[in-house]
């Protein structure tokens, strides 16, 4: 049993043996430090608990926490190895007013993290670089400096707060430059000459002269809204109701920019920190809250595993991740007009996709090919009709095409001729009429030279059932076997 | 799925006089005349159309299509397709298939084209089971988007569902064709019920297929008459006609022309 009141360390294999990767407060108080050999640590401390470190699991846990943090702002960026890989950035520009200010946001975040059992160091600053430095090196655990005090505080921090490579740090140390102020207050040119661009870039990033590129844990949406709930919700009805409100929030900015949403992401934030995201894609851009609410309802219906509400969702967020230009809808009272009809078809296709699955609804389009199975393609449905040439009255084609041609045992008069009897799926058919052959050669440019030619026959039995069979390969040129297949059925 | 909130009992809502009158007003016109706006789809064969109310297949109603034998399924779908080719433009034709229904694959666009139905107009919807298929059919009808809806389920539709769909068809004014598995008893609520069987095709003087043929039995027809016909469909002109009595006998052919034509 792990006792947190006693020294606890996580160990990794390193040079010289197992070394400490992380330690708890008690171990720190006992004088242990990160990087020390575990063997040495055991000698120092009587009752030392040692567990193996699991960096993969740590990464996963951090990622989950970062996803949870999107409840504050969609722009959350995990720290990579260069930043220490033990925290993340939140871009709260424009988000803090939802909490009544930056101070309240900071306190809210700290309280929630504490409740998860994760004591953290937090800092709010003008730039990511500054925030990183203050979070790590400032004396207070929660750091929010009054305006104007930030630059002063940053200059007082050690140069290691600049996130520099070991070489640069060593050189700075040798030169006796200990504080950021020592470097920042001096002329730049000698540094540019002496060091790689790294030093100056980091300085510029910290003080906001240059922006730092960031990779976000979820693709940042263009439009989003979020609602924090006083009472957690658990039912599907409640989720759909709130989602409608969220979509209504988005209508104004969408209209203002003349666009509609093509893709949406609904994020459900559970009370215990778990986040579920539901993705929706639409056939045509939409701004209609009722339509989106309906699709969400259908989508939630379809999710096989129960979306575990646990103790409920404490916040819901809706983000438009893809938008497209959309004309303002002319009030067209004629229900048969093209635009109205196209909208109705889109809405129907959307409903089908959400309830029945993304591949459930399809359209057919012709393709240039002699091979019957390639002569058409099934595409995701859209309101526009596909273009088909008028039927060629001469070439008869079956109403059903089997997904794979099925072998049939055929009896014939002559091998090069049509079938007289055939057995297919266990039934024997007696052919009273046959038409053909229609010779369809393989497409060597597609499949290679050795594709056998097919001789297709339309055959009919005495009851009027009609089939499409082919013999694979020209006898005796391409093959010496007589192989027959049923490919389709005629009406 | 998330848990649902408990639903309200219908008895919670008091039925006011106004509401009752409104319902009556809504129902009465439909009881009086089935073709609410008089739209029908004629076959183009006077002898057949005369059996149907108002000279054609009424829109805004449920029609049932079945066959005598599993083998006749392509024939019944072929007949349905040829009929749908005659629906005037103004919306897609939506086919809803329950996946378990047919092991014959998907409808082939070139085959639909050959039967006179523009495949560009067609939307194919495949569902996992019959319950989803019924939902999809109703959804399609009520959306006001399609010109006609064809539904195919794996098992026979129960009475309640068929009433629902009939109501949806009536409310929306769309044509609904339900292709049902072979069975003896049909849907009570259907306005017409057709049983299709395969027939040997008509051959021309060269011995090649000239017109498709099907055995048609109109087993039920509200406000009309039942009957049996042998119909033909010209695959070039895309036109229905009746098999003429003369054509019943073996087609005139030179005695030494073989049935089969070698390549």
**Cβ proximity of B60 and B36 under 8 Å:** yes
Q: Do B3 and A351 touch (CB under 8 A)?
A: no
* DSSP of A13-58: EETTEEEEEEE-HHHHHTT--TT-BHHHHHHH-SS-EEEE--HHHH
* Interval A285-336: pLDDT, tens: 889 898 999 999 888 877 655 566 677 889 999 999 889 888 776 655 565 6
Cα A368 from Cα A377, distance rounded (Å): 10
Instruction: Classify residue A126: in a domain, yes or no.
Output: yes
Is residue B113 within 8 Å of residue B82, measured between CB atoms?
no
The nearest alpha carbon in chain A to B139 belongs to: A348
pLDDT band at A152 (very low <50, low <70, confident <90, very high): confident
Q: Is the minimum CB–CB distance between A234 and chain B shorter than 8 Å?
A: yes
Q: Which residue does chain A place closest to B237, by CA atoms?
A: A393
The answer to whether position A245 is within a domain reads yes
Pairing of strands B93-98, B122-127: parallel
Q: Do B127 and A439 touch (CB under 8 A)?
A: no
CA distance A192 to chain B (A): 60
Contact B200 A362 (CB under 8 A): no
Q: Which residues of B touch A348 (CB under 8 A)?
A: 139-140, 143, 145-146
pLDDT average, residue stretch B81-90: 91
Based on the domain organization, do A253 and A176 belong to the same domain? no
**B169 three-class SS:** helix
Nearest to A348 among B114, B120, B140 (CB): B140
| Residue in A391, A402, A405, A436 to test binding to B, most B beta-carbons within 10 Å | A391
pLDDT at residue B97, as a whole number: 92
Distance, CA of A9 to CA of A53 (rounded, Å): 9
ipTM of this complex prediction, to 2 decimal places: 0.80
What pLDDT, on a 0 to 100 scale, did the predictor assign at position A407? 92
A110: contact with B, CB 8 A cutoff: no
Give how many domains chain A has, as a whole number.
Answer: 4
Q: Identify the three-state secondary structure at position A475.
A: coil
Residue at A139 is within a domain? yes
Q: Does A296 touch chain B (CB under 8 A)?
A: no
Task: State whether the Cα torsion B22-B23-B26-B32 is positive or negative.
Answer: negative
**CB within 8 Å: B259 and A432:** yes
CA distance A55 to chain B (A): 35
Sheet of strand A17-23: strand arrangement? A17-23, A8-14, A49-52
Gap from B76 CA to chain A (nearest CA, Å): 7
Give the pLDDT score at A33.
Answer: 87
Distance from CA of A437 to the nearest CA of B (A): 5
Say whether A376 and B212 touch across the interface (CB within 8 A).
no
* pLDDT one-digit tens code per residue, A92-114: 887 888 888 888 999 999 999 98
The mean pLDDT value for B81-102 works out to 89
Q: Residues A65, A160: one domain?
A: yes
Summarised one tens digit per residue, pLDDT across range A466-486 is 999 999 887 777 777 788 999
State the Cα–Cα distance between residues A109 and A91, nearest whole angstrom.
14
Residue of B nearest to A461 (CA): B200
Confidence of residue B255 (pLDDT cuts 50, 70, 90): very low
Q: Is residue A373 part of a domain?
A: no
Best to test chain B binding among A242, A306, A491 (most B CBs inside 10 Å): A491
CB contact under 8 A, B120 and A399: no
Average the pLDDT over each of A182-191, A307-316, B5-14, B201-210 and give the range with the smallest value.
B5-14
Beta-carbon contacts of A111 under 8 Å, excluding residues fewer than 6 positions away, are: none
Question: Are A356 and B75 within 8 A, CB to CB?
Answer: no
Return the exposure string of A155-171: e unless at least 16 CB atoms fall within 10 Å of the residue's CB, then b: bebebebbbbeeebbee
**pLDDT confidence of residue B15:** 66
DSSP conformation class of A130:
H
Count Cβ atoms within 10 A of the Cβ of residue A107 and give its class: 0-12 exposed, 13-18 middle, 19 or more buried: middle
Domain boundary among A303, A329, A355: A329
Whether B198 sits inside 8 A of A437 (CB atoms) is no
Looking at the complex, report in whole angstroms how far the Cα of residue B96 sits from the nearest Cα belonging to chain A: 9
Q: CA of B74 to nearest chain A CA: how many angstroms apart? A: 5
Is residue A198 located within the same domain as residue A277? no
Q: How many CB atoms lie within 10 A of CB A323?
A: 22
Q: Which candidate, B236, B242, B196, places its Cα nearest to that of A491? A: B196
The 10 Å Cβ neighbour count of residue A413 is 12
Q: How far apart are CA B75 and CA B72, in angstroms?
A: 5
Nearest C-alpha neighbor of A96 from the set A127, A124, A63, A68: A124
Assess whether A311 and A420 both reside in one domain. no
- The pLDDT of residue A109 is 92
Q: Which residues of A touch B4 (CB under 8 A)?
A: 235-237
Using an 8 Å CB-CB cutoff, list chain B residues near A307.
1-2
Q: A488, B144: Cβ pair inside 8 Å?
A: no
* Predicted local confidence at residue B257, as pLDDT: 41
Residues A430, A483, single domain; the answer is yes
Band (pLDDT 50/70/90 cuts) for residue B1 is low
Span between the terminal Cα atoms of chain B, in Å: 59
Asked whether the beta carbons of residue B114 and residue A396 sit closer than 8 angstroms, the reply is yes
Taking residues A257-266, what's their average pLDDT? 91
Give the number of A-B residue pairs with CB atoms closer than 8 Å: 229
Residues of B in contact with A345 (CB under 8 A): 91-92, 143, 145
CATH code of the domain in which A281 resides: 3.30.1490.100
Q: Answer yes or no: is pLDDT of A198 > 60.
A: yes
- Residue A336 falls within a domain, yes or no? no
A157 and A188 in a single domain? The answer is yes
> Does A283 share its domain with A147?
no
Residue at which a domain ends, from A206, A241, A262: A206
Q: In chain A, whose CA is at the least distance from the CA of B122? A: A363
Q: How far is B17 from chain A (nearest CA, A)?
A: 31
A198 and A68 share a domain?
yes
> Scanning the structure block, which residue is given the tokens 């950021």?
A180
Cα gap B80→B205, rounded to integer Å: 28
- A340 assigned to some structural domain: no
State the greatest distance between any 2 C-alpha atoms of chain A, in Å, as a whole number: 103
Find, among B10, B86, B119, the residue nearest to A401 by Cα: B119
Beta carbons within 10 angstroms of residue A153's beta carbon: 19
Mention every residue, 6+ apart, whose C-beta is less than 8 A from residue A300. A236, A239, A240, A278, A307, B1, B2
**Contact residues on chain A for B211, CB-CB shorter than 8 A:** none
Q: Is A193 helix (H, G, I), strand (E, B) or coil?
A: helix
**Residue A264 CB coordination number (10 Å):** 27
Are A155 and A111 members of one domain? yes
Chain B hits for A390, Cβ within 8 Å: 113
Average pLDDT over residues A43-47: 85
- Are residues A182 and A231 both part of a single domain? no
- Would residue A384 count as lying in a domain? no
The confidence band for A446, taking pLDDT boundaries of 50, 70 and 90, is confident
Question: How far, in Å, CA of A17 to CA of A196, rounded?
Answer: 35
Q: And the tokens for A383?
A: 């309101």
Q: Which residues pair with A144 in a beta bridge?
A: A124
Q: Are the CB atoms for B140 and B146 separated by under 8 Å?
A: yes
Task: Tell me if A236 and B114 make a contact (CB, 8 A cut-off).
Answer: no
d(CA A207, CA A227): 33
Q: Which domain holds residue A104?
A: 57-206
**Residue contact A416–B263, C-beta within 8 A:** yes
Statement: residue B175 has pLDDT above 90: yes
Average of per-residue pLDDT values in chain B: 82
Q: How close does chain A come to B110, measured CA to CA in Å?
A: 6
Q: Work out whether the CA dihedral A103, A109, A114, A118 comes out positive or negative.
A: negative
With a CB cutoff of 8 Å and minimum separation 6, the contacts of A28 are none
Nearest Cα of chain A lies from the Cα of B100 at a distance, in angstroms, of 14
Quick check: is A274 in a domain?
yes
Contact B106 A414 (CB under 8 A): no
Q: Indicate if A70 and A146 belong to the same structural domain.
A: yes
What mean pLDDT do residues A253-278 have? 89
- Among candidate residues A181, A206, A231, the one where a domain is terminated: A206
pLDDT band of residue B260 (cuts 50, 70, 90) is very low
Verify that A194 and A65 share a domain, yes or no: yes
Q: Is A454 on the interface with B (CB under 8 A)?
A: no
The whole-chain average pLDDT of chain A stands at 86
Question: Between these two residues, B101 and A465, which has the higher pLDDT value?
Answer: A465
Q: Give residue-wise pLDDT tens across range A362-414.
A: 999 999 888 899 999 999 998 888 889 888 766 889 999 998 999 999 998 88
User: Average pLDDT, stretch A132-146?
Assistant: 88
């Amino acid at each position: 049993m792990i006792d947190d009141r006693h020294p606890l360390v996580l160990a990794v294999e390193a040079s010289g043996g197992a070394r400490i990767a992380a330690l708890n407060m008690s171990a720190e108080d006992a004088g242990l430090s990160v990087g020390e050999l575990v063997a040495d640590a055991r000698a120092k401390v009587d009752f030392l608990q040692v567990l193996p470190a699991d960096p993969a699991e740590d990464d996963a846990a951090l990622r989950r926490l970062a996803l949870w943090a999107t409840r504050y702002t969609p722009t959350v960026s995990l720290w990579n190895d260069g930043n220490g890989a033990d925290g993340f950035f939140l871009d709260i520009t424009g988000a803090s007013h939802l909490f009544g200010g930056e101070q309240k946001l900071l306190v809210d975040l700290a309280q929630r993290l504490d409740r998860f059992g994760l004591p953290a160091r937090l800092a709010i600053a003008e730039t990511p670089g500054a925030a990183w430095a203050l979070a790590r090196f400032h004396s207070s655990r929660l750091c929010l400096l009054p305006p104007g005090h930030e630059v002063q505080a940053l200059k007082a921090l050690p140069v290691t707060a600049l996130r520099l490579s070991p070489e640069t740090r060593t050189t700075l140390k040798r030169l006796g430059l200990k504080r950021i102020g020592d470097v920042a207050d001096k002329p730049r040119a000698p540094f540019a000459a002496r060091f790689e661009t790294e030093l100056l870039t980091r300085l510029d990033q910290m003080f906001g002269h240059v922006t730092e590129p960031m990779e976000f844990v979820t693709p940042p949406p263009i439009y989003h809204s979020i609602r924090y709930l006083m009472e957690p919700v658990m039912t599907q009805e409640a989720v759909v109701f709130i989602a409608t409100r969220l979509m209504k929030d988005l209508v104004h900015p969408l209209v203002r920019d003349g666009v509609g949403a093509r893709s949406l992401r609904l994020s459900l934030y559970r009370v215990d920190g778990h986040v579920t995201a539901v993705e929706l894609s639409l056939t045509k851009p939409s701004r209609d809250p009722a339509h989106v609410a309906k699709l969400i309802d259908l989508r939630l219906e379809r999710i096989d595993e129960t979306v575990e509400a646990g103790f409920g969702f404490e916040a819901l967020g809706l983000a438009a991740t893809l938008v497209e230009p959309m004309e303002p809808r002319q009030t067209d009272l004629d229900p048969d007009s093209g635009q109205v009809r196209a909208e109705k078809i889109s809405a129907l296709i959307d409903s089908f996709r959400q309830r029945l699955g993304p591949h459930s609804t399809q359209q057919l389009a012709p393709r240039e090919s002699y091979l019957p199975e390639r002569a058409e393609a099934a595409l995701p449905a859209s309101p526009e009709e596909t273009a088909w040439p008028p039927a060629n009255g001469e070439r008869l084609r079956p109403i059903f095409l089997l997904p794979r041609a099925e072998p049939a045992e055929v009896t014939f008069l002559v091998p090069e001729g049509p079938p007289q009897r055939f057995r297919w799926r266990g039934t024997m058919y007696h052919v009273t009429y046959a038409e053909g052959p229609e010779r369809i050669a393989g497409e060597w440019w597609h499949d290679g030279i050795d594709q056998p030619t097919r001789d297709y026959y339309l055959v009919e039995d005495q009851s009027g059932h009609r089939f499409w069979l082919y013999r694979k390969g020209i006898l005796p040129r391409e093959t010496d076997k007589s192989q027959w297949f049923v490919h389709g059925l005629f009406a | 799925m998330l848990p649902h909130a408990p639903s309200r009992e219908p008895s919670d809502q008091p039925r006011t006089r106004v509401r009752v009158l409104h319902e009556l007003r809504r129902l009465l016109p439909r009881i009086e005349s089935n073709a609410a706006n008089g739209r029908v789809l004629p076959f183009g064969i006077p002898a057949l159309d005369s059996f149907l109310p108002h000279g054609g297949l009424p829109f805004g109603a449920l029609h049932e299509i079945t066959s005598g034998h599993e083998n006749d399924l392509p024939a019944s779908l072929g007949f349905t397709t040829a009929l749908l080719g005659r629906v005037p433009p103004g919306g897609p034709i939506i086919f809803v298939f329950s996946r378990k229904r047919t092991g014959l694959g998907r409808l082939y666009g070139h085959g639909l084209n050959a039967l006179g139905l523009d495949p560009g107009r067609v939307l194919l919807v495949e569902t996992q089971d019959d319950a989803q298929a019924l939902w999809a059919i109703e959804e399609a009808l009520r959306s006001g988007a399609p010109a006609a809806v064809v539904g195919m389920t794996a098992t026979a539709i129960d009475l309640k569902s068929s009433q629902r769909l009939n109501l949806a068809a009536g409310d929306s004014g769309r044509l609904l064709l339900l292709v049902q598995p072979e069975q003896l008893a049909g849907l009570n609520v259907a306005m017409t019920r057709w049983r299709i069987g395969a027939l040997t095709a008509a051959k021309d003087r060269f011995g090649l297929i000239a017109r498709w043929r099907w055995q048609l039995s109109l087993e039920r027809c509200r406000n009309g008459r039942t009957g049996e016909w042998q119909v033909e469909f010209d695959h070039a002109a895309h036109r229905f006609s009746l098999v003429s009595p003369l054509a019943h006998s073996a087609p005139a052919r030179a005695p030494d022309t073989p049935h089969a034509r070698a390549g």
